[in-house]
Amino acid sequence: MEDVLQAIGTIGMILLVIAGLLAGWIASLVSGGRHKGAYLAIGVVGALITPFIAALLGGAVLAAGGLLAILAMALFGAVVVLVIGKLILD
């Protein structure tokens, strides 16, 4: 896990939070503005945990791909978690 944190770094973590907030904001717009806070929180959680899950599943390639690959994976994870959240919230 420490390898993932070192690969991401402080700036990377901030970018992951921003990516999660962006995904949550877009999801709240798509849903008509309802549950905006919940979508923002779900997006951030999804964006933050996805790189760690990928690392647990053997995502050394993800770290080798650099910050851009980590952000792309985080956005994908945020979208997946947001879809699940939408099913729960609506």
Total-model pTM? 0.75
Tokens 């939070």 belong to 17
Note whether residue 89 is domain-resident: no
Question: pLDDT tens-digit profile of 5-42?
Answer: 666 778 888 888 998 898 888 888 887 777 888 889 98
User: What is the model's pLDDT at position 62?
Assistant: 58
Note whether residue 36 is domain-resident: yes
| Domain of 74, in residue numbers | 2-84
**Residue 73 contacts residue 50 (beta carbons within 8 Å):** yes
d(CA 77, CA 90): 20
Note whether residue 90 is domain-resident: no
**Domains in the chain, number:** 1
User: What is the model's pLDDT at position 64?
Assistant: 62
Strands (E), 12-90: none
User: Does residue 61 carry a pLDDT above 60?
Assistant: no
d(CA 16, CA 12): 6
